[in-house]
Structure 1
Amino acid sequence: MTALADRRRLRAFVDEKARAAGFDKIAVTTPDAAPQAPERLRHFIEEGRHGSMAWMAETAERRARPQNLWPQVRSIIMLGMNYGPDENPLALLERKDRAIISVYARNRDYHDVVKGRLKQLAGQLAARAGEDVKVFVDTAPVMEKPLAAAAGLGWQGKHTNLVSRELGSWLFLGSIFTTAELEPDLPEEDHCGSCRACLDVCPTDAFPAPYQLDARRCISYLTIEHKGPIPHEFREPMGNRIYGCDDCLAVCPWNKFARDAAEIRLKARDDLKEPALETLLDLDDTAFRELFSGSPIKRIGRDRFVRNVLIAAGNSGRAALVPRCRRLTSDPSPLVRGAAVWALSRLLDAEEFGRLAKIGQTIEMDEDVRQEWRHALGRTA
């Protein structure tokens, strides 16, 4: 009875300190509470749906079971932080002169924000319980979403992201592994029902089936993880999304509760809410690093970022962007030059583009970029 009382007191302490640290949701589970996760991960990788994210296959064994990452773990504390926007991010899809940056990336890198608060809470737990702790956020080989669902933080929706009845789909997740024994919570039921909103809204058909994602077709993957040219079939569907994609999250009906949450934990920077394409096309490496200092966007580098902006420029229909796109056909980066070719093929009439292509193919030395010229000429012919 004393041991049970001690566990309950410790859990009450953790709950109190988690709220004080700025977490909106807290739940506890055991290391073996998501037995179906390893098989789902194996299928995902065998189907090649992880794309070029080789680290997923390389860390699959450690990722499959928490005990493989840390054999001493006895309890896992899952924590959620609300980052719901104060307005509907999908409204910006109609503003073709503006770029859409995923809501989570409109301020500081959430990894730093969440990890700092996790370390604070973990330190308090270790001091109180005299037990060991480890903290993990996203980049570690931890299957956070299945563990969060097993803990009752929410459930994995048909878009594969975690959904909370209180905070909808807008949740940052973090975990604390500990050798302390805490009473586990019950899993949350799936409340998606017959709703298909997240599946039907996806512009690139990235969901082969409900609860399954093919990252290779996901705009978040294409704009962030994918290092080469954007495959042609996805360029037009990208629209003006230049970093990530919130469509499947934003249409979730459970978000109505997120908008009523007492506090949004990560306010968007004003200059990243709806940046102008002109401004972003002018970024050199120095300006890119300065603009995105402390932002998760910085990690993809200037060239990949401008590649994405050029796709948005090509989809904008705005002739005013032509001079900037032409200038970028001489950029040092072949990735940028190739995207600039595609943008110009969309913004210029066939005759003018043909004249430009005749010169461009003559001076271009990179074969991939030359192929962009040839492909674009065939499309405009």
Structure 2
Amino acid sequence: MSIKLFRCLVNDLLIPKNQHVRHGHRLRGKPPTMARTLQQRLEKIRLSREDPTLDFKVNIGFSVSRVTRRMITNAWSSEIIALRKNPELERASRTRQLLIDLQKVRQDWLQMDGPFHIHRIAEHYDVYKHLYGDAYFMPIVPLDISYELKDDKLARAYNGNVIKPSEASNAPNVEYNAEDGSLWTLIMTTPDGNLTSADNEYCHWFIGNIPGNRVKEGEELVDYMRPIAPYGIGYCRYIFVLYKQDCHIDFSEYKRTKPCLNLEERNWKTLEFYRKYQDQMTPAGLVFFQSDWDSSLKEFYYNTLKAKLPIFQYDFPKPFIKKQVWFPLKEPFNLYLDKYRDPKEIKKEFLLRKLKKVHPFNGPEPPLKFPLAHRSNKYRPSWLRFEITKKGRKQGRVNDINEY
């Protein structure tokens, strides 16, 4: 390995601009759990030399030029001068009564930095990587996705925020700006939580040939299905992609029966779909949210999908218990004996004792204000006094020791 290559690898490990100091020590790089090893870096350099296209990203969307504040100020120069000469606005500003239209401010932000901001967030969540591989696009068309809730409330999908499945049970309201006579396609998909094939996605919604921004007049090929994040896998991404069509497209091969309750029929691959129609459509809008398990999915799996409830849990190994010996001295004798009993038997015993004392209508008896003052601990073994103390303080194991 040459000296120049070694210096490049060393400089890559260091963080000259973002060095942190903790307890007088300078952290010279990323933590060992995040930093790549020397062998991994050499392997990446070797592969990049053999195939220079490995780190090359393809822009499959529309070209966009950043709109700076100077450009907007020049366009609004006459309006800005008129506002400065308005005495009423100046008086309202001094008395702190000037109201600002936040919706207009948001539209200006979407025009200036919106596409680049959404693109950075999508890159962070690996949206482009898991949908399009080495391709990406700039979401130049602002897409507004909102779910209607009770009491006139809305759950709006931004970029990575959390929306529960119970909140997204019905199809959302979709709004965007479009010219008359244009055609669009809206697809909602998730690359996470496929129960039959890890390489496929789930298509939750597919509407093609949308005239302008009238989504309800489009051709619904796959009906809407709520998020179905399985129990135990965490958050799943649900992504809305808006495509602009150059012409009318025949999507009859993707037509599914309504309602489509067979999950295998919803298997989907965004990359294959775009490769097939890349000459007729271009991605232009992107919005996604995250969702995880909630109690409403239990009824949806059982009654609607007619499927078993998918639960992913870690299978803990059985605890190792040493061979039983006579006269253990390191722990209380009753706890020692419970180790070798059947756990189901112990739980059953505790449940029966609890049901024996709890009234079905009035609930459990109120606890004593000073539980340790009602009984004397004299002439009792140490382990029994310890159990009485824990029970009075409601700590540790629950044992019925009042009968002793």
Query: Common fold, TM-score beyond 0.5?
Result: no
Structure with greater helix percent: 1
Structure with greater strand percent: 2
**Shorter-chain-normalised TM-score: which range?**
under 0.3
Larger Rg belongs to? 2
